[in-house]
Structure 1
Amino acid sequence: MGETADRVLGGCRIALLIVTAVIQIGLSLPVVTGAASAYAFAALGAVLVVAAFWVLRGRAVPWPVAGMAAVMVLTASAVATWAVPPGELFGDRHWVFGLAGWHLLVLLLDRPVAAVAALGAQLALTLVRLVASAPTDRFEIGGVVIVGLSVITFQAATLALVRIVNRRAGEAAEASAERDRLAHRKALAEQREADQRSRFAGQLGATLPLLAGLADRTLDPRDEAVRQRCALAATQLRRLFAENDEVPDPLVHEVSACVDLAERRGLTVTLAVSGEPAPVPTDVRRELTGPLMTALVAARSQARVSVLRTGDEIRVAAITDGEPGTRSNGSDAVDVEWHALGERSWMEAKWRSRQN
């Protein structure tokens, strides 16, 4: 949103700079007469050159520079206005009135309150000159006021229009960005759903031979190995369901799902969690909880499970009264260790985030 609005505002600044330069050189220069008017004209030209240094680079004039330049514009306007004969205020010789307002807009376009105040000061200076000339013709006074207000109103309307265009550009950019975010979230959701279906299909494909063996009685449910296979398949499915839940701490949620199913089988399981939640990729969570499921399935009656998070390292460990699982180094992302501790076994899966 900010970049689009800045580009639009930068284009408006350049357009105002060009319009002001054209008015000053093409319309005001031919009617400049007298030393005071010449000095005022030169001062306004110098302000325009200074402003162009930032405007042509797409940047706003810095506030200290813009403030001092605005004072210079008002001073030049006052000098040139006092050099105009009283009867010719707002006439051809009063070239500075409208021109100074455009200079103020170039300087203060990004600061609407200051710009309106400066335009008001410009009008006030001219009205002071009008009062000092002590006009007696009410029609002359009315005509002067109408012309002055018309010029200031047009310039103020230009300022308001630029601000509206800038705001609308920002809103349009924000709406476009929101559409992109929604499309991205939708694509991610669709991809996640497709991955979930694929994982479910894969898990069911691995479970079907087990179910078929139980159905045709080639597998004996009284066999300890068969019961462990069934327990492992059930735990894998339960963890897979938990993986799809929207929770603040997915890793602990999936570990808890494995623990819950072990407790349903009659195991006494304690779970300890330490450290602050940290983002863990889905595939890494699967590798961290895979050995845990194997350890819990092998447990006979009890297990202690722990999730430890310290800095850039996350560990999932389990001490059970079952046989140690297959000794393995895990994968490139997760290191897995199995050890026998007397009649107990110890498993630890470790992931360091800096590896990714």
Structure 2
Amino acid sequence: MAEKTAAADTAPRDRPPRADPPSRVTGPGLPDDNVHATMRVALWCVTALLLVGLSLRPLLTQHYRQHWLAVTAFVALAGVTAVSSGWVLRRRPMPPALTAVGTATALAAGYCATSAVGAGAHFGAADWSFGLVEWYLLLLLLDRVALLLAALATHLALSVALFLAAGQPDRVDIGAVGIVVLGGATVQLAVVVIARALARGTRRTTAAIAARDRMRTRLLLAEGWERGQRNDFAGQLGLTLPLLAELADGLADPRDPDTRRRCALAATQLRRLFAENDESPDPLVHEITACVDIAERRGVVVSLAVSGSTVAVPAAVRHELTGPVVAALSAARDRARVSVLRTVAEVRVAVVTDAEGARTAPPGAADVEVEYGSYGRDRRMEARWRRPSS
């Protein structure tokens, strides 16, 4: 009759963590978005203040050729302010459709308001929309510098075209307009430069913090792996040291078959432990080969057969598969046969030896099933691991 049990042993630790490749910190909610979100809140407050505090009074007191057109432009800009607040004040990126519609509305409002200005009043108090529209374009296109520059250039070209179409300006008027245009452009470009500098600095700081956190994580993982390795070696040596102490004190007789079996078991376990930390393309076969090597050094004739291609076997499962192999080979007297079968569904490791008496492993983890049986004078062990379905 075959007896089923589970292979028990201390599972080995995996290899120490490898260094992750450096990665650039980007993506939603990261440095650039945080900087732009904060800048947009400030720009929204500026546009709202300029719209109500500095643009409403000229709209009510200045003379316009078509006053209703200026009022329409003011209402349109107020609508952009109200709609954009739903995203800006919650620090959320504005949808591209909203950005496109808002930009077109701001440019159209600026054109309409400037068209309503009377002759000689361009770029003055009555032309309140010139500077205000630039702030709206900054609010909407802060993170799209190329589109922002194109929109600012379009707004400036429309304003200058309407100024030139209103009459024949003299050099004084042209100089005054140049000062206004240069001052406004300088302020807008300064805001863009500040936003990009803040984003760059924040990105570098975040990347440095992320690199430091990754280093700390790798250090903690490496320390944990080292402690695990020490515990593994201590657990294996815990079986070996009492045997060595008994031999040194004369309590164990090297000529006794049981003592010799214990020595063979300890040697095989240590050899397997060393093999677990080797780099190998086929770790399972490598560890089994290490166990076979120790048995052959004791004079046991061992044949090893491997079928199937290499499959990925977790370190803990490999330990459970090779644990019964260690016990079986250490009990072999003269000969043993080891076979490894790997399929897409399972991995089997079988050992047939001429050992005396059936050997069983104490119950442990249930990932691997182990069967022991007798076939005449031979003892057979088979460890089986069923691969989880993906």
TM-score relative to the length of structure 2: 0.78
- 2:312 aligned residue: 277
- 2:380 aligned residue: 345
**Is the Cα–Cα contact under 8 Å of residues 320 and 345 in structure 1 kept in the other structure?**
yes
Q: 3-state DSSP class of the match of 2:91?
A: coil
1:174 maps onto 2:197 in alignment: no
Percent identity over the alignment is 43
- 1:304 aligned residue: 338
Q: Distance in 1 between matches of 2:304 and 2:266?
A: 19
Q: Distance in 2 between matches of 1:330 and 1:198?
A: 18
Q: Deviations over 1:107-158 (max 9, x none)?
A: 2223222222211211121222233235442342233123213212321321
Q: Distance in 2 between matches of 1:72 and 1:271?
A: 75
- 2:17 aligned residue: none
**Is the Cα–Cα contact under 8 Å of residues 270 and 305 in structure 1 kept in the other structure?**
yes
The one-letter code matched in structure 2 to 1:319 is V
**Is the Cα–Cα contact under 8 Å of residues 311 and 342 in structure 2 kept in the other structure?**
no
Q: Distance in 2 between matches of 1:347 and 1:21?
A: 79
| TM alignment of 1:1-356, pairs within 5 A | 1=25, 2=27, 3-5=29-31, 6-32=33-59, 33=62, 34-245=67-278, 253-262=286-295, 264-265=297-298, 267-272=302-307, 274=309, 276-277=311-312, 280=314, 282-299=315-332, 300-306=334-340, 308=342, 310=344, 315-323=347-355, 324-326=358-360, 329-342=363-376, 343-350=378-385
Report the alpha carbon displacement of residue 275 of structure 1 after superposing the two structures with TM: 5.5
The one-letter code matched in structure 1 to 2:365 is S
Q: 3-state DSSP class of the match of 2:124?
A: coil
Q: Distance in 2 between matches of 1:353 and 1:196?
A: 27
Q: 3-state DSSP class of the match of 1:336?
A: strand
Task: With a CA cutoff of 8 Å and minimum separation of 6, indicate the structure with the bigger relative contact order.
Answer: 2
Report the alpha carbon displacement of residue 75 of structure 1 after superposing the two structures with TM: 0.8
Q: Distance in 2 between matches of 1:129 and 1:293?
A: 93
Q: Distance in 2 between matches of 1:250 and 1:124?
A: 72
Report the alpha carbon displacement of residue 177 of structure 1 after superposing the two structures with TM: 2.1
Q: Deviations over 1:171-202 (max 9, x none)?
A: 32232222112111111211221222233233
**Is the Cα–Cα contact under 8 Å of residues 131 and 184 in structure 2 kept in the other structure?**
yes
1:182–1:136 CA distance, 2 compared to 1 (3 A) = same
Q: Distance in 2 between matches of 1:250 and 1:157?
A: 61
Q: Distance in 2 between matches of 1:309 and 1:29?
A: 80
Q: Distance in 2 between matches of 1:119 and 1:30?
A: 25
Equivalenced residues, count: 350
Deviates more, 1:171-180 or 1:257-266: 257-266
Q: Distance in 2 between matches of 1:276 and 1:332?
A: 20
**Is the Cα–Cα contact under 8 Å of residues 316 and 348 in structure 1 kept in the other structure?**
yes
Q: Deviations over 1:220-275 (max 9, x none)?
A: 44444333322221222223233445667655554454345445555332344546
Q: Deviations over 1:26-84 (max 9, x none)?
A: 11111114222111111111111121122223222211221122111111111111222
TM-score relative to the length of structure 1: 0.85
The one-letter code matched in structure 1 to 2:304 is V
Structure with bigger helix share is 1
Q: Distance in 1 between matches of 2:153 and 2:318?
A: 66
**Is the Cα–Cα contact under 8 Å of residues 122 and 163 in structure 2 kept in the other structure?**
yes
Q: Deviations over 1:295-324 (max 9, x none)?
A: 23234433324264646xx64522322445
